[in-house]
Amino acid sequence: MDEKFSPLFDSFSFPNGVSLKNRLIMAPMTNFSSKDDGTVTDAEVKYYARRSKGVSMVVTACTFVTRNGKGFHGEFGADSDELIPSLKKLASAIKAEGAKAVLQIFHGGRECPPEQVPDGDIVSASNVQSERNSAKAPRELTGQEVEEIIAAFGETTRRAIEAGFDGVEIHGANGYLIQQFFSPHSNRREDKWGGSLEKRMAFPLAVVDEVKRITAEHAREPFIVGYRFSPEEPEEPGITMADTLELIDALAEKELDYLHVSLNDFWSKPRRGIEDNRSRIEIIHERVGGKVPVIGVGSLYSAEDVIKAFGTGVPLLALGRELIIDPDWVEKVENGRENDIETKLDTAAQARLVVPDPLWQAIVNTPGWFPGVQ
C-alpha cells in the first residue's frame, strides 16, 4: 500500500466502543430489488455481500418503519416482526464478509408514490405538496399518528437488534418524513410539532430519543445509532445552512455514534444562511466534530479524491456509486493497486459487478447518474 493512503486503514472506535477496521463505509443506496412482500431477494443479498469485504461498515438502503412510509418500488420492509427473518438474512450476509451491518430506517412521507402505500394515503407534517415529484398533496398527520410513527421507529430498531444488525441509521435526509418535519416548506403545523425552528426540530429529536430508548432496553451489546441529514433544501422557504447548524447542535447532545452528511459532492458549499466559503462538510465537522463523529460523502471516485477529503479531518468517509462501479475499491487501495480502480461504469459488466436487474436498469437508463452512463 502507498504510505499516503495508510491513514484510511487505521481502526476507528465509535463513542459507544464499537470498533471499525478502517475509515471507509458503504453509503446507503436504494436498489429497487426487494420482493413485493417487503422481503429481500437473493440477488439483493449477493449485491451487498459482494461489497462488504473491504469496507468496515455497510449502511443498507432505507427500509420503511410503517406500511404508509414505503417510498420506493422494490424497497424492503421492517414494519412487522414477520420481516425479521428477511432482515437477518441481509445482516448475516454483510457481517459474514467482515463489515458491520447498519440498517437505515425511514418513512417517505409526502415523497411516497401513492401506489406504494395503503389506499394511496400520502401523509406528511402538513398538507403541502412536494416540489420534487408529481405526487398529490399529502394529508397532514394527526398528533396521535405522529406519536405512532415515532414509536414505529423504535419498533423497527428492536427488529434490527433481533435480526443481528450492529446498528441503525435514522434517515433524516433527502426530503423524507423526518426532514419534512424539520423543513419550513413542508411543515406548516401550529401544534407542538411545528412553527418555530425549535418546534420543527421536535420530531427528529423525538425519533432519536425513542431509538436510543429502545436500544438501551433491548441491545445486549453496544449498538450503533447514527443520523443522516441533508444540510440544505432548494425550496423556498426551505432548510438553510443556519437551520442545519442549529439541528446538529441539538443532535450532538443526544450521544449519537455518528452524523452522516448526505451530499452528492463532498466539496459543495453553502447556498444560503451563513457566509462561509468552505465546504458544508468542513463547516459541519468544525461545529460538532468534537462531540460526534461526522461521516463525509460525495463523488469521491479515486483514491486521491478520498485521501484529499480525509485531509479535512472528517474521520469516516462513505462510498456509494463508487462501490457499484468497482466493488473491489477498498481492497485495491489496500493492496497498492489504486491505479486499477474503475471510476466509470462498465455498462456491459452487470454480472461481474453483481448488481440486481432492477437497480441495473435504473442506472443504465438514467443518463448522468453514473460516470460512464450517457
Could you confirm whether 176 is annotated as catalytic? yes
CA distance 73 to 356: 14
Grid coordinates of 193: 410539532
CA distances from residue 355 to 51, 60, 314, 350 in whole angstroms, order as listed: 10, 15, 30, 6
CA distances from residue 126 to 18, 135, 187, 198, 346 in whole angstroms, order as listed: 38, 14, 5, 17, 43
Q: Residues 6 or more apart from 345 whose CB is under 8 A from it?
A: 324, 325, 363, 370, 371, 372, 373
CA distance 120 to 334: 48
CA distance 97 to 184: 42
CA distance 183 to 132: 14
Q: Which of 78, 129, 144, 142 is nearest to 106 (CA)?
A: 78
Q: Indicate the helix (H) or strand (E) that contains 139.
A: strand 139-140
* Amino acid sitting at position 81: D
CA distance 47 to 31: 10
CA distance 294 to 286: 10
Q: What is the DSSP letter of 3?
A: G
Q: Which of 267, 280, 208, 271 is nearest to 239 (CA)?
A: 271
Q: Where are the alpha helices (DSSP H) in the chain?
A: 42-50, 84-96, 143-162, 177-182, 197-200, 202-218, 241-251, 280-288, 303-310, 321-325, 329-334, 350-353, 357-364
Rounded to the nearest 10°, the torsion over CA 278, 282, 283, 284 is 150
Catalytic-labelled residue, pool 176, 227, 258, 301: 176
Q: Residues 6 or more apart from 231 whose CB is under 8 A from it?
A: 239, 241, 244, 261, 262, 263, 270, 280, 284
Residues labelled as active-site residues: 176
